[in-house]
């Protein structure tokens, strides 16, 4: 049998579903015992790997690495004794990530501060109180705890609301949503996530009478580090290795996000171990973003490409999700997303090839300073995302089978060659998308870059599948100028994140993320273009076109570049 046939015959999607169930009972926060237990479970399934340890609580490249956080227990009750949040040992999602410890059991007056994200919402003192707040928890923390001395934040904040799939607090009144304070916090206060039903009841009570709660929060530093599990499969050859990665962190249950990706990756590694693979594949399980950037800074791998598995097990009928394969950014063309989309195309599931999006570890690799073509395979949106309802019963063995076979097909293509007929389909998709993008724009700069991007993706495809059809599609692109080479303009590797930001900068960035969904994509891609030698205003123009950014976001991005230059993170 061929390599492809051997891989697909060996693959058992039920293994991934069962392993997801094992991981979903563990509270997998960075530095916690549950995360360590999850690493051990993966090692037991896949065979021996290497566990790398990286420090928490400092900075790494462009990131503030949060302190290690191990939740041991806690609860929230009305002073009358009625439970609001059960024992956190049993329901850890009720504790806000990066909370500090309480001083034994604290009795606190409850104050409703609306969203809690604006100074005008604090006409009364909240020092030593617990605040009810609907806004984004990191912002509430800075306003209520850091600026005004509140002890506790109580929230029902639901991110990524989507009425199309019933993802609203009103339609999910008993779900408890996962929330975290900012990476910079040092435990000055603590917080609880409650259901929307409980939150509304507390608001009603506070509107009528003085309400006090008894709060207890027990947390320590756990292992004190970030742990990254690394496994190698296959034989190192002349070709660069392929990286498969899936973040392992998140609260219990966190089934689809991201026990599903971690579990599927483990099953893929098991399958790859059963065949003679003449191409090295590296598998990585890590804390999202922070583990990835630490590993790259330490290992400095020279990779061909990467596939990021994040939320892949969803039962689409239950979650309302669509499997998205994200394209690489305009600054980093690749044929890989089109190849993956072709290998996943079926009439049985919803599938979409999207433009580049931030939001998971592929974004670290896509940065111009690392420059590894990386795609994200991700089910989105998901009704139960980041909530107590993200449980294994919302997953489907059929989704695991579909995505797993698509990834194995793609690995077989990269290891032993893309069949001619498939290469022809991929080449046609690349050129057709380039033509469609080109006619959208009148600006010559943008049209030239689209042509460059299209030709670069086809050239990369030709290196793997040098067929007559691919050559013909490439010839049809003409004599477009090549993509420019990387020119270091930033004194770190990876995306520039929050390490340089003051409190005012963080608040400004939070407002932009709220007002402009494209903000994270826009600011990262502008820097990518600059690191390819594009002038700043041209870089802004290209990134604006890529993400259809409004004028106000472009103005903010211009200011962002000025701030980075002034702080020494962008060389003029």
Between CA 486 and CA 69 the distance in angstroms is 37
Bridge partners (DSSP) of residue 154 are 132, 192
The helix/strand/coil state of 158 is: coil
Whether residue 180 has a cis bond before it, omega within 30° of 0 = no
- Tell which residue, 431, 447, 449, has the closest CA to residue 528: 449
Q: Residue 1: its pLDDT value, please?
A: 87
Q: What is the dihedral of CA 342, 549, 498, 501, to 10 degrees?
A: 170
Backbone angles phi, psi at 85, to 5 degrees: -125, 125
Dig out the tokens for 402 from the structure.
């579909």
Report yes or no: 202 and 154 within 8 Å, Cβ to Cβ: yes
Report yes or no: 191 and 153 within 8 Å, Cβ to Cβ: yes
Would you give per-residue pLDDT tens digits along the chain (572 residues)?
A: 899 999 999 999 999 999 999 999 999 999 899 999 999 999 999 998 999 999 999 999 989 999 999 999 999 999 999 999 999 999 999 999 999 999 999 999 999 999 999 999 999 999 999 999 999 999 999 999 999 999 999 999 999 999 999 999 999 999 999 999 999 899 999 999 999 999 999 999 999 999 999 999 999 999 999 999 999 999 887 899 999 999 999 999 999 999 999 999 999 999 999 999 989 999 999 999 999 999 999 999 999 999 999 999 999 999 999 999 999 999 999 999 999 999 999 999 999 999 999 999 999 999 999 999 999 999 999 999 999 999 999 999 999 999 999 999 999 999 999 999 999 999 999 999 999 998 999 999 999 999 999 999 999 999 999 999 999 999 998 888 899 999 999 999 999 888 889 888 988 999 999 999 999 999 999 999 999 999 999 999 999 999 999 999 999 999 999 999 999 999 87
Q: How far does CA 518 lie from the centroid of its chain?
A: 15
- The DSSP line for 278-311 is SS-EEEEEESTTHHHHHHHHHH----SEEEEE-S
The region that residue 466 occupies, defined by phi over 0 for left and psi between -120 and 50 for alpha, beta otherwise, is: beta
Q: Judging by DSSP bridges, how do beta strands 374-380 and 305-309 pair with one another?
A: parallel
Q: Give the CATH H-level superfamily of domain 3-65+224-416.
A: Zn peptidases (3.40.630.10)
330 exposed, middle or buried (CB, 10 Å; 0-12, 13-18, 19+)?
buried
Number of H helices, E strands in the chain: 18, 17
User: Domain 73-220 adopts which CATH fold?
Assistant: Glucose Oxidase; domain 1 (3.50.30)
| Residue 184 to residues 35, 94, 136, 224, 265, Cα–Cα distance (Å) | 21, 21, 15, 16, 31
What single DSSP character describes residue 432? H
Dig out the tokens for 420 from the structure.
């001619």
- pTM for the model stands at 0.97
- The DSSP line for 207-235 is HHS--EEEEEEEEE-TTSEEEEEEEEES-
Report yes or no: 76 and 213 within 8 Å, Cβ to Cβ: yes
């Amino acid at each position: 049998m061929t390599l492809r046939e051997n891989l697909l015959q060996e693959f058992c999607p039920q293994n991934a579903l069962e392993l997801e169930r094992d991981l979903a009972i563990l509270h997998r926060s960075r530095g916690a015992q549950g995360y360590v237990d999850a690493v051990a479970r993966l090692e037991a399934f896949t065979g021996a790997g290497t566990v790398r340890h990286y420090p928490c609580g400092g900075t790494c490249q462009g990131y503030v690495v949060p302190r290690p956080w191990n939740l041991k227990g806690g609860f929230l009750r009305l002073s009358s004794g009625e439970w609001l949040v059960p024992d956190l040992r049993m329901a850890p999602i009720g504790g806000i990530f990066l909370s500090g410890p309480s001083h034994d059991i604290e009795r606190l007056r409850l104050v409703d501060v609306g969203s809690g994200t604006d100074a005008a919402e604090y006409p009364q003192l909240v020092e030593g109180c617990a605040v009810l707040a609907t806004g984004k928890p990191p912002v509430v923390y800075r306003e209520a705890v850091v600026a005004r001395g509140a002890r506790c934040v109580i929230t029902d904040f639901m991110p990524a609301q989507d009425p199309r799939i019933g993802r609203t607090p009103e339609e999910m009144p008993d779900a408890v949503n996962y929330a975290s304070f900012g990476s910079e916090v040092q435990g000055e206060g603590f917080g609880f996530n409650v259901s929307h039903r409980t939150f509304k009841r507390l608001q009603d009570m506070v509107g009528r009478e003085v309400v006090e709660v008894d709060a207890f929060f027990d947390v320590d530093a756990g292992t004190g580090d970030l742990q990254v599990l690394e496994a190698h499969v296959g034989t190192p050859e002349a070709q660069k290795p392929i990286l498969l990665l899936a973040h392992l962190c998140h609260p219990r249950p966190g089934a689809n996000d991201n026990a599903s990706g971690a579990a599927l990756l483990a099953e893929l590694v098991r399958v790859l171990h059963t065949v003679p693979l003449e191409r090295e594949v590296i598998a990585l399980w890590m804390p999202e973003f922070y583990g990835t950037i630490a590993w790259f800074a330490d290992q400095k791998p020279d990779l061909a490409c990467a596939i990021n598995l994040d939320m892949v097990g969803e039962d689409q009928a239950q979650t309302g999700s669509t499997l998205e394969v994200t394209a690489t950014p305009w600054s980093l063309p690749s044929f890989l997303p089109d190849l993956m989309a072709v290998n996943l195309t079926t009439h049985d599931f919803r599938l979409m090839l999207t433009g580049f999006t931030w939001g998971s570890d592929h974004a670290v690799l896509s940065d111009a300073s690392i420059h590894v073509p990386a795609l994200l395979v991700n089910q989105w949106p998901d009704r139960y995302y980041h909530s107590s309802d993200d449980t294994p019963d919302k997953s489907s063995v059929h989704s695991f089978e579909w995505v797993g076979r698509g990834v194995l097909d793609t690995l077989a293509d990269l290891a032993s060659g893309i069949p001619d007929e498939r290469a022809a389909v991929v080449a046609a998709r690349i050129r057709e998308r380039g033509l469609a993008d080109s006619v959208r724009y009148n600006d010559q700069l943008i049209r030239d870059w689209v042509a460059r991007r299209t030709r670069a993706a086809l050239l990369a495809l030709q290196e793997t599948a040098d067929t007559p059809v691919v050559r013909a599609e490439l010839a049809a692109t003409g004599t477009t100028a090549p993509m420019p080479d990387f020119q270091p303009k930033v004194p770190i590797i990876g995306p520039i994140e929050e390490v340089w930001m003051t409190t005012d900068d963080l608040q400004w960035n939070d407002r932009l993320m709220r007002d402009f969904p494209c903000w994270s994509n826009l600011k990262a891609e502008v820097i990518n273009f600059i690191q390819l030698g594009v002038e700043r205003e041209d870089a802004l123009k290209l990134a604006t076109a890529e993400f259809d950014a409004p004028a106000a976001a472009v103005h903010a991005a211009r200011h962002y570049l000025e701030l980075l230059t002034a702080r020494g993170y962008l060389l003029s």
